[in-house]
């Protein structure tokens, strides 16, 4: 595996993400089908990475996306503005009045508790971002000297929205490489996105092509299996035990299939209950395995934990930290993100650094 090279020239952004931003509706302690009120957040797999890098780590980030121009879209924008992510690449699409032609995505999410698992129900057909086409963004100008970014991030959720979004992702990744910008890609398999358009065979067809273009690949054991057809051997269906040698074998198999990859990282999660998980990570970098052992953590809201892992890892790489520190940063940031509601992180860099050092949760005042 070749080393990952971070650009050292001045650039407008530290990280640019490409993906959908949805309105998350959270019933809190209730169920989606019985609640009478929701709290709203913004969220999206690729966006959450940019927001985490901005709010926790103080980096300059942007999101390339699209929204239907109606009050729901403006609410999403208002939430994004609070997150501090540059929205200058947000495309507004005229609304047709009732959503026959274009809509904004909604994501209803239950946090789960104890033996009741977290659950999600998305309503995201005909969204503005799913109708993006190659040529809608001027990628040479975005990645060129006029703007430029030190890092580009996208993933399997955006690629699953439509046939055209997969082509947009490929177009953007190609432009990023033409301007020496490293690319990360989170596989983020979602059965609900793929089941009506060809299921896992289609997911593998699309993602195998895109993964051939990227530098850092992120996922978990289900993602690598569903999206690339690379299975984790020697585990049960409930993943109650996660044998590290099997993960090492899986990562090395992925590296052999995709020699373009410079770093492959997988989260390690054992969900004994919705409220209590064992959480860690493993990575393959320059042919060496780096492992952060699992530790038991309490979960308030698990959604977005993987995205916060990604932003912590990317922060470490952008900051010039060693891979072992960067991986521990991702694990710590993901753990902290799962202690608060919503998709996105409210953690601070000080809190992340304290957790990396293994400090206790003793009150700070």
Q: Is the pLDDT of residue 235 over 90?
A: no
Answer yes or no: is pLDDT of 362 > 90.
Answer: no
Asked whether the beta carbons of 58 and 15 are under 8 A apart, the reply is: no
Token pair 């699953």 in the structure block, residue: 160
Report yes or no: 90 and 118 within 8 Å, Cβ to Cβ: no
pLDDT of the residue at 146: 80
Listed range (168-182, 216-230, 303-317, 348-362) with the worst mean pLDDT: 348-362
* In the predicted structure, residue 318 carries a pLDDT above the cut 70: yes
Which of 315, 339, 337 lies closest to 325, judged by CA?
315
Q: How far is CA 325 from CA 153, 267, 314, 315, 352, in A?
A: 20, 15, 11, 10, 11
Q: Tell me: pLDDT of 365 over 90.
A: no
* Nearest 10 degrees: Cα torsion 77, 86, 88, 6: -140
Averaged confidence pLDDT in the chain: 95
Within 10 angstroms of residue 240's Cβ, the number of other Cβ atoms is 10
Beta-carbon-side half-sphere exposure of residue 237 (alpha carbons within 13 Å): 0
Q: How confident is the model at residue 363 (pLDDT cuts 50, 70, 90)?
A: very low
pTM: 0.96
- Rounded mean pLDDT of 77-90? 97
pLDDT of residue 105: 98
Mean pLDDT on 264-279: 95
Residues 206-233: what's their mean pLDDT? 96
pLDDT, tens digit, for every residue of 115-146?
999 999 999 999 999 999 999 999 999 999 88
Strands (E), the chain: 15-18, 22-26, 39-43, 61-69, 90-94, 106-110, 119-123, 152-155, 183-186, 216-219, 263-273, 276-285, 288-298
Average pLDDT over residues 185-200: 95
Mean pLDDT of 326-346: 96
Q: For residue 143, what are its two tokens? A: 């990645």
pLDDT mean over 54-59: 98
Tokens 């690449």, located at residue: 89
With bands split at pLDDT 50, 70 and 90, how would you rate the model's confidence at 358?
confident
Per-residue pLDDT band at 364 (split at 50, 70, 90): low
In this prediction, residue 234 carries a pLDDT of 79
CA angle 115, 120, 121 (to 5 degrees): 140
């Amino acid at each position: 595996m070749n080393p990952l090279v971070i650009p050292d020239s001045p650039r407008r952004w530290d990280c640019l993400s490409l993906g959908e931003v949805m309105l998350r509706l959270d019933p809190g302690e209730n169920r989606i089908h019985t609640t009478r009120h929701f709290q709203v957040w913004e969220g999206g797999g690729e966006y959450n990475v940019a927001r985490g890098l901005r709010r926790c780590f103080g980096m300059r980030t942007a999101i390339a996306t699209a929204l239907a121009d109606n009050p729901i879209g403006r609410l999403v924008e208002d939430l994004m503005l609070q997150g501090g992510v540059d929205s200058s690449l947000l495309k507004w699409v005229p609304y047709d009045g009732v959503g026959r032609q274009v809509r904004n995505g909604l994501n209803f999410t239950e946090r789960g508790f104890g033996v009741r698992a977290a659950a999600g129900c998305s309503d995201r057909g005909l969204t503005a971002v799913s109708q993006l086409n190659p040529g809608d963004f001027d990628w040479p100008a975005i990645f060129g000297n006029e703007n430029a970014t030190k890092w580009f991030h996208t993933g399997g959720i955006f690629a699953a929205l439509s046939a055209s979004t997969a082509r947009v992702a490929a177009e953007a990744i190609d432009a990023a490489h033409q301007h020496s910008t490293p690319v990360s890609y989170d596989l983020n398999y979602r059965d609900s996105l793929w089941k009506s358009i060809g299921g896992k065979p289609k997911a593998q067809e699309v993602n195998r092509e895109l993964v051939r273009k990227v530098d850092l690949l992120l996922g978990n054991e289900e993602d690598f299996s569903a999206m690339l057809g690379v299975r984790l051997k020697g585990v049960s269906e409930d993943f109650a035990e996660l044998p590290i040698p099997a993960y090492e074998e899986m990562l090395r198999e992925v590296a052999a299939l995709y020699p373009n990859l410079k770093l492959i990282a997988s989260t390690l999660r054992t969900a004994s209950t919705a409220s209590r998980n064992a959480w860690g990570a493993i990575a393959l970098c320059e042919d060496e395995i780096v492992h952060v052992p699992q530790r038991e953590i309490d979960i308030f809201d698990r959604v977005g934990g993987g995205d916060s892992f990604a932003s912590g890892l990317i922060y470490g790489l952008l900051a010039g930290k060693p891979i072992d520190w960067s991986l521990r940063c991702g694990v710590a940031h993901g753990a902290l993100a799962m202690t608060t509601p919503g998709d996105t992180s409210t953690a601070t860099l000080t809190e992340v650094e304290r957790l990396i050092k293994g400090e206790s949760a003793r009150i700070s005042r």
